[in-house]
Amino acid sequence: MTHQRGSKDRQPAPRRGRRAGTSPRPRLRAVRQLAPYLARTMPWSVLFAGCLSGTALLVLLENTSRFPLSPNAVRLAFLPAVAALCFVPHVHFRPLIQTVPIPTWVATAGHTLLALPILAATCAIELRLMAGSFPSYPPAARPADYPLIAQLVGWTTLAVLAATWCDRTRYANLNGAMAAPIAIAVIAFAWVTPRISRLLDTSHPHPDSATIAWYVIATCATFGSWSTTRDQWHRYTRRLPTTQ
């Protein structure tokens, strides 16, 4: 007599439940414990100095010039904030973060997220200053904001990419001093090169293509930063001596 397996004979697979006495979200608890160290090691002075210096420069240009502020003035005023952002993603307590059950990139992402509201407020203030310098002009004569915002977002993500890349070298303690010139050099190269600036120029009559291009650059730079921060080890370029 053969035994036929029915639905009653099948035993359900055991469910993987959490063990008694364990936390359901250990990583979230570790992030909460790490938050004071993130706020304490955040380079607030450098970030505020870069944002306030650029905004003060724009206010000075508005008060001393007889003409409305141009998008180039806003770009120039936002460069100190971009340079200051290069000092933000550095992990100052790497030996400590490697002992907690969270990835190393959480510290870099936490510093960057803390800096984004300040950069967004700086961008909004500078755009408001530019719009306020056109009091007697019709709205059609004012430059559009959305392509300029896309360009500033692209600059921000490029600065984060340069900072995270330099933070994985053997000179990680100097990553801000290395990343700031690299980011400014890349921005200047894209600004003054005719073929590239023609594609990325947001001041021409049809800036939609430049806006899309800058958001594509921002997306690629964000993905590059995420890929770079997932590597917790520094990259050393020193060659090992060869045995003869």
3-state secondary structure 108-158: HHHHHHHHHHHHHHHHHHHHHHHHHCCCCCCHHHCCCCHHHHHHHHHHHHH
What would the mean pLDDT of 183-210 be, rounded to a whole number?
Answer: 82
| CA 135, chain centre distance (Å) | 34
Domain presence at residue 219: yes
Q: Which of 92-106, 151-165, 194-208 has the highest mean pLDDT?
A: 151-165
Q: Which residue has the higher pLDDT, 84 or 201?
A: 84
Please check whether residue 133 lies inside any domain of the structure: yes
Count: domains in the chain: 1
Answer yes or no: is 13 within a domain: no
**Would you say residue 37 has pLDDT above 50?**
yes
Q: Answer whether 0.95 is exceeded by the pTM.
A: no
Confidence check: pLDDT of 20 > 60? no
Mean pLDDT of the chain: 77
**Band of the pLDDT at 142, cuts 50, 70, 90?**
low
Q: Please, which pLDDT band fits residue 16 given cuts at 50, 70 and 90? A: very low
Classify residue 199: in a domain, yes or no. yes
The residue type at 9? D
Does residue 222 or residue 35 have the better pLDDT?
Answer: 222
CA 193-196-201 angle, to 5 degrees, is 100
In a domain, 15, yes or no: no
Q: Residue 44 belongs to what domain range?
A: 28-229
